[in-house]
C-alpha cells in the first residue's frame, strides 16, 4: 500500500490523511494505558500532571504510592486472596478442560454440538447474569461467601477458554502417533503423558493463562459470590474507584499492566512454538 | 478324510452369501464394529463427563435457579396456608371483604408466622406489588399475639381494631392475586406493567423505569457498537494492507489494551475524564475550553460511551482484521485496471467482502456491551448506567431477588437471541482468541 510515484495530489492527500486518522485511533487505544504509568509516580495525591512533573523535576516524582500499596494491609490481603483463588481455579479448569477437550476431539462423540454449547456457555452469558444465578444457587447450597464457592465459580468461567485453545491445538494432532505408541506397548496413561501431552502443551498453557487472567481479573462474580474474606485485587480496585479514589490505584494498575505485557509475550511465543511444532509457518 | 469333512463343514457354514460377514473371532463383523464404536463413544463421553458434571453444577444449575426464581412465589402459600385455601372461594371483583372464616384463617396463620418472623418477609414480598402492605404486616404481627382465637367471634372487627387497612379490599385483592405457587408478577414489573383490578395495565408514565432503562441500554450499546465500527474499520484495513512484519508490530498496540485488566482501563478513564483530569487540563492548556467551563466527561452517558468504546474496540478490530486478511488484493487491482477509481474500487469491490467481518464484530460488541456492569457503574453516574446495574442493585440493595431474576432472564433471552444470530452468520466455532 506504498504510495506510487504517479499518485495524484488527491491520492497523496488521502494517503497521508488516512495514516493520520489511523495514528489518532492507535493513540486512543494506547495512550489511556500509557498515561497511567508516569502518573503513578506522582509525588502529590493528584490525578493529573503537576507542573513539577511536566518540568521533569525529580521532586515531582516519588514512589510513595507504591510504598502505600506494599504497606497497606487492605491491598496486601487482596493480593494474597487473588493469588489463593486464581491458581486453584486455573488448576481446576485446566485439568477438567484438557480431558474434556481430548474427549471432544475424538471422531465419534454423541451430542457434540449440545455438549460444546453447554461448555462454552459461561463465556457467552453476561457476567452479571452468571453472578446473579451463582449468588442465588450458591446461597442455597451454602457455598456463597466461601473460598471454594469463588474458586468453583471462577473455574467455570475459565473453562471455555481452555476448551477453545486446547481443541484448536488438537485439530492438527496426528492420531497415528498415539497408535504408534500403543503399538509399541505403551498404555493409555503413558501415551497421554509421554506423547500427547508434550505436543498439546502450548495450547494447554495458553488456555491456562486465559483461565488465570479470567479469574485474576474477574470482579463481578466475586463481588456477589465472595464475602469480605475473599476480597480480591480487582474487587479492592473496584471499591477504591467507587468510594475513596486514591492514587495507589494507579500504582496497582501499573503493576498489572507490567504483568499483562509479560503474559501477552508468553502467549505469543507459545502460539509461534505451537505452529512451528505442527509444521505451520509462523504468522 | 477328516480334513475334508472339516473344510466342507466350514464351507457349509460360510456358504450363504446373504448371511453376516464374520470377524476372525467368529462374531458378525457388523456387531464387533458397532461394539468398538460404542466403546469409543463411551470413552469420549467418559473423558467429557467430569467437566460436563462440573459445569452443570457450578454454572447451568445457577442459571436454572435464576430462571426458576423469576416465577417462583412459594412464600404466600407457605406463610399463609389456611388463608390461601379460604381465599379460593372469594370473588375479588365484587369489592366486598372476605368472610369471617377467612379473617380467622389469617389470624391463625399470622400467629404461627410471628413465631419465626416469616410475616415480615411476606410483608416485604407483597410490598413489591402494593406499597404499604409491609408495615401492615409488621404492625399486625405485634398485635396478633394478644388476639385470643378461641374467644373471638367477629374476626373482621378484631382485625379492623388492629389496623384499619385490613378492611381495605385492595390489600386482600393483592394477597389473593399473589397466592399462587408461581407468579408472572416479576416479569410484569420488569416490563413496567402491573396487575390492577381490571387486569394487566401500564404503570404511570413517570414510574416506567425499566422500559426506559432497557431502551437506554439498547441505544447506548448501539452507539458504542457504531463508534467501534467507525474507529475499528480503518485500523483493521490498515493492518490488513500493510506488510506482515509491520502489521504484526502494530497488532501489539491492539492486543495490549485487550490483555490489560478491565479495572486498569476503567481506572485510566476515570482519571483521564475527571474535571481536574488530564484531558480537561490539556484542553484548557490548549485554550480550547475556558478554565471555568471544563467539560463534563464523566458520570454521564458520554463517559460510559468513551470508556466502553475503548474497552470493546479490540473485539471489533480482531474479527474485522481476520476477515480482511482473506480478501485477495488482486480483486481491487482488477477493479482499478477495469477503470474504477479508488473510491469505486473500495466501495463496490472491497467493502462488500468485508461486511461479514463488520457483522461478526458488531454482534460481538453489542452482546458484550448490553451485559456490561463494571464500567457503567464507575464512569456512568446515574444517567449512564445499564440494565445490569439495576440487576445488581436489586440483588444487593433492595433485596428484590425475584425482580432481579426476571430482569436477568429478559437480558439472557436477548443475549441468547443475538448469539443465535451470530452462530447463524459467523459460527460459534470461529471464535478465536489472541
Same domain, B419 and B287: yes
Hey, is A19 helix, strand or coil?
helix
Mean pLDDT of B368-383: 89
Under the banding of pLDDT at 50, 70 and 90, the label for residue B427 is low
**Contacts (Cβ under 8 Å, ≥6 apart) of B144:** B107, B110, B111, B114, B162
Is A166's pLDDT higher than 50?
yes
Q: Are B384 and B300 in contact (CB under 8 A)?
A: yes
Q: Are B53 and A120 in contact (CB under 8 A)?
A: no
Mean pLDDT of B63-80: 89
Domain final residue pick, B140, B163, B181: B181
B19 in any annotated domain: no
Q: A205: which 3 cell numbers?
A: 498453557
Residue A283: the pLDDT is 38
Q: A51: which 3 cell numbers?
A: 507542573
Mean pLDDT of A53-74: 85
Same domain, B155 and B238: no
Number of helices (H), then strands (E), in chain A = 13, 0
Is B432's pLDDT higher than 70?
no
Task: Give exposure, A122-148, as e/b (b: 16+ Cβ within 10 Å).
Answer: bbbbbbbbbbbbbbbbbbeeebbbbbe
Out of A46, A115, A155, the one facing B48 most closely (by C-beta) is A115
**Contacts (Cβ under 8 Å, ≥6 apart) of B399:** B124
Domain with B174 in it: 74-181
Residue A153: the pLDDT is 96
Measuring CA to CA, how many Å separate B84 from each of B178, B182, B191? 10, 14, 27
Residue B8: the pLDDT is 46
Is B430's pLDDT higher than 60?
no
Residue B245: the pLDDT is 86
Element spanning A195, H or E:
none
pLDDT tens digits, one per residue of B313-361: 999 999 899 889 889 989 999 999 999 988 999 999 999 999 888 988 8
Same domain, B161 and B271: no
Q: Which residue of B has its CA nearest to A23?
A: B235
pLDDT above 70 covers a percentage of chain B that reads 93
Same domain, B135 and B80: yes
Out of B65, B271, B342, the one facing A136 most closely (by C-beta) is B65
Give the range with max mean pLDDT: A3-17, A222-236, B11-25: A222-236
Q: Are B99 and B90 in contact (CB under 8 A)?
A: yes
How far does the CA of residue A43 sit from the closest CA of chain B (Å)? 16
pLDDT above 70 covers a percentage of chain A that reads 96
Task: Give exposure, B22-60, as e/b (b: 16+ Cβ within 10 Å).
Answer: eeeeeeeeeeeeeeeeeeeeeebbebbbebbebbeebbb
Same domain, B126 and B219: no
Same domain, B335 and B391: yes
- The position carrying cell 485485587 is A233
Measure the CA–CA gap between B395 and B404, rounded to whole angstroms.
Answer: 6
Measuring CA to CA, how many Å separate A44 from each of A33, A69, B257, B271? 20, 15, 27, 14
Interface size between A and B, measured as CB pairs under 8 A = 272
Is A279's pLDDT higher than 80?
no
pLDDT above 90 covers a percentage of chain B that reads 28
Residue B429: the pLDDT is 56
B44 in any annotated domain: no
Hey, is B276 helix, strand or coil?
coil
The better pLDDT of the pair B18, B295 is held by B295
Summarize chain B as % helix, strand, coil (round to 5): 70, 5, 25
Q: Which residue of A has its CA nearest to B43?
A: A103
Least confident of B3-17, B186-200, B229-243, B358-372: B3-17
Q: A269: which 3 cell numbers?
A: 511465543
Is B211's pLDDT higher than 70?
yes
Residue B90: the pLDDT is 83
Q: Closest Cα to residue B402, out of B121, B47, B157?
A: B121
C-alpha of A65 from chain center: 25
Residue A137: the pLDDT is 95
Q: Are A238 and B263 in contact (CB under 8 A)?
A: yes
Instruction: Check CB contact under 8 Å for B378 and A96.
Output: no
pLDDT tens digits, one per residue of A4-36: 788 888 889 999 999 999 999 999 999 999 988
Least confident of A140-149, B231-240, B373-382: B373-382
Q: With an 8 Å Cβ cutoff, is A255 touching chain B? A: no
**Contacts (Cβ under 8 Å, ≥6 apart) of A137:** B61, B62, B65, B66
Under the banding of pLDDT at 50, 70 and 90, the label for residue B17 is low
Domain ranges of chain A: 74-245
Residue B89: the pLDDT is 81
Residue A175: the pLDDT is 82
Measure the CA–CA gap between A216 and A83, rounded to whole angstroms.
Answer: 8
Q: With an 8 Å Cβ cutoff, is B242 touching chain A? A: yes
Residue B348: the pLDDT is 92
Q: Are B228 and B363 in contact (CB under 8 A)?
A: no
Is A151's pLDDT higher than 80?
yes
B337 in any annotated domain: yes
Under the banding of pLDDT at 50, 70 and 90, the label for residue B150 is confident
Under the banding of pLDDT at 50, 70 and 90, the label for residue A282 is very low
Q: Which residues pair with B193 in a beta bridge?
A: B202
Q: Which residue of B has its CA nearest to A14?
A: B342
Same domain, B140 and B245: no
Q: With an 8 Å Cβ cutoff, is A148 touching chain B? A: no
Q: Are A42 and A53 in contact (CB under 8 A)?
A: yes
Instruction: Check CB contact under 8 Å for B371 and A128.
Output: yes
B406 in any annotated domain: yes
- Tell me the H-state helices in B242-292: 244-259, 262-273, 278-286
Give A74-245's CATH code, choosing from 1.20.1560.10, 1.10.3720.10, 3.40.50.920, 1.10.630.10: 1.10.3720.10
Q: Which residue of A has its CA nearest to B413?
A: A125
Least confident of B138-147, B212-221, B251-260, B376-385: B138-147
Same domain, B174 and B227: no
B187 in any annotated domain: no
Q: Closest Cα to residue B407, out of A198, A128, A70, A204?
A: A128
Number of domains composing chain B = 2
Residue B196: the pLDDT is 67
- The position carrying cell 490488513 is B240
> Cβ of B342: how many Cβ atoms within 10 Å?
15
pLDDT tens digits, one per residue of B406-415: 999 999 999 9
Residue A98: the pLDDT is 93
Same domain, B315 and B375: yes
Measure the CA–CA gap between B427 and B34, rounded to whole angstroms.
Answer: 32
Same domain, B371 and B247: yes
CA-CA-CA-CA dihedral for B320, B316, B255, B353, to nearest 10: 0
Q: B295: which 3 cell numbers?
A: 467539560
Amino acid at each position: 500500500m506504498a504510495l506510487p510515484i504517479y499518485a495524484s495530489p488527491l491520492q497523496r492527500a488521502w494517503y497521508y490523511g488516512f495514516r493520520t486518522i489511523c495514528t489518532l485511533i492507535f493513540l486512543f487505544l494506547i495512550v489511556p494505558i500509557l498515561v497511567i504509568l508516569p502518573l503513578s509516580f506522582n509525588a502529590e495525591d493528584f490525578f493529573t500532571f503537576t507542573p513539577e512533573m511536566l518540568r521533569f523535576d525529580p521532586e515531582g516524582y516519588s514512589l510513595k504510592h507504591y510504598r502505600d500499596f506494599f504497606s497497606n494491609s487492605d491491598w496486601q490481603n487482596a493480593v494474597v486472596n487473588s493469588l489463593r483463588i486464581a491458581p486453584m481455579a486455573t488448576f481446576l479448569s485446566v485439568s477438567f478442560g484438557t480431558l474434556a477437550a481430548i474427549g471432544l476431539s475424538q471422531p465419534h462423540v454423541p451430542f457434540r454440538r449440545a455438549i460444546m454449547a453447554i461448555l462454552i456457555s459461561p463465556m457467552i452469558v453476561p457476567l452479571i447474569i452468571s453472578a446473579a444465578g451463582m449468588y442465588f444457587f450458591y446461597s442455597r447450597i451454602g457455598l456463597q461467601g466461601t473460598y471454594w464457592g469463588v474458586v468453583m465459580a471462577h473455574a467455570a468461567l475459565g473453562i471455555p477458554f481452555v476448551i477453545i485453545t486446547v481443541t484448536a491445538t488438537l485439530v492438527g494432532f496426528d492420531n497415528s502417533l498415539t497408535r504408534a505408541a500403543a503399538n509399541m506397548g505403551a498404555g493409555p496413561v503413558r501415551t497421554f503423558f509421554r506423547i500427547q501431552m508434550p505436543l498439546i502443551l502450548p495450547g494447554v498453557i495458553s488456555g491456562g493463562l486465559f483461565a488465570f487472567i479470567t479469574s485474576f481479573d474477574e470482579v463481578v462474580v466475586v463481588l456477589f459470590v465472595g464475602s469480605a474474606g475473599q476480597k480480591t485485587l480487582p474487587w479492592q480496585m473496584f471499591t477504591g474507584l467507587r468510594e475513596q479514589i486514591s492514587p495507589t490505584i494507579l500504582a496497582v494498575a501499573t503493576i498489572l499492566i507490567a504483568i499483562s505485557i509479560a503474559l501477552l509475550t508468553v502467549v505469543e511465543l507459545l502460539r509461534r512454538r505451537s505452529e512451528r511444532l505442527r509444521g505451520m509457518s509462523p504468522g | 478324510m477328516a480334513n475334508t469333512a472339516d473344510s466342507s463343514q466350514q464351507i457349509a457354514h460360510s456358504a450363504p452369501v446373504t448371511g453376516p460377514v464374520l470377524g476372525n473371532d467368529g462374531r458378525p463383523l457388523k456387531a464387533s464394529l458397532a461394539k468398538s464404536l460404542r466403546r469409543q463413544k463411551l470413552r469420549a463421553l467418559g473423558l467429557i463427563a467430569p467437566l460436563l458434571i462440573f459445569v452443570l453444577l457450578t454454572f447451568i444449575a445457577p442459571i436454572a435457579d435464576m430462571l426458576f426464581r423469576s416465577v417462583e412465589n412459594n412464600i404466600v402459600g407457605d406463610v399463609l396456608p389456611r388463608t390461601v385455601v379460604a381465599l379460593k372461594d372469594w370473588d375479588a371483583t365484587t369489592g366486598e371483604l372476605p368472610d369471617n372464616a377467612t379473617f380467622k384463617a389469617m389470624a391463625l396463620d399470622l400467629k404461627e408466622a410471628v413465631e419465626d418472623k416469616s410475616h415480615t418477609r411476606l410483608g416485604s414480598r407483597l410490598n413489591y406489588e402494593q406499597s404499604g402492605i409491609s408495615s401492615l404486616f409488621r404492625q399486625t404481627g405485634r398485635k396478633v399475639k394478644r388476639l385470643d382465637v378461641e374467644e373471638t367471634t367477629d374476626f373482621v372487627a378484631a382485625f379492623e381494631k388492629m389496623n384499619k387497612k385490613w378492611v381495605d379490599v385492595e390489600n386482600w385483592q393483592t394477597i389473593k392475586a399473589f397466592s399462587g405457587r408461581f407468579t408472572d408478577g416479576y416479569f410484569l414489573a420488569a416490563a413496567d406493567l402491573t396487575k390492577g383490578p381490571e387486569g394487566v395495565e401500564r404503570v404511570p408514565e413517570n414510574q416506567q423505569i425499566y422500559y426506559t432503562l432497557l431502551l437506554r441500554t439498547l441505544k447506548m450499546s448501539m452507539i458504542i457498537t457504531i463508534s467501534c465500527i467507525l474507529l475499528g474499520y480503518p485500523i483493521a484495513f490498515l493492518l490488513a494492507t500493510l506488510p506482515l512484519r509491520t502489521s504484526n508490530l502494530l497488532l501489539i498496540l491492539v492486543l495490549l489494551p485487550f490483555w490489560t485488566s478491565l479495572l486498569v482501563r476503567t481506572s485510566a478513564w476515570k482519571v483521564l475524564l475527571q474535571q481536574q483530569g488530564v484531558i480537561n487540563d490539556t484542553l484548557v492548556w490548549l485554550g480550547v475550553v475556558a478554565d471555568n467551563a471544563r467539560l463534563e466527561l464523566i458520570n454521564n452517558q458520554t463517559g460510559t460511551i468513551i470508556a466502553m468504546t475503548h474497552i470493546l474496540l479490540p473485539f471489533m478490530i480482531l474479527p474485522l482484521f481476520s476477515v480482511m486478511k482473506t480478501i485477495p488484493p488482486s480483486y481491487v487491482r482488477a477493479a482499478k485496471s477495469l477503470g474504477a477509481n479508488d473510491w469505486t474500487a473500495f466501495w463496490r469491490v472491497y467493502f462488500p467482502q468485508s461486511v461479514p467481518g463488520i457483522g461478526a464484530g458488531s454482534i460481538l460488541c453489542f452482546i458484550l456491551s448490553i451485559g456490561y456492569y463494571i464500567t457503567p457503574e464507575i464512569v456512568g453516574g446515574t444517567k449512564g448506567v445499564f440494565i445490569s446495574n439495576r440487576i445488581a442493585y436489586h440483588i444487593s440493595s433492595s433485596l428484590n431477588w425475584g425482580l432481579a431474576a426476571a430482569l436477568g432472564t429478559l437480558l439472557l433471552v436477548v443475549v441468547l437471541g443475538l448469539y443465535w444470530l451470530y452462530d447463524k452468520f459467523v459460527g460459534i466455532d470461529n471464535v478465536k482468541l489472541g
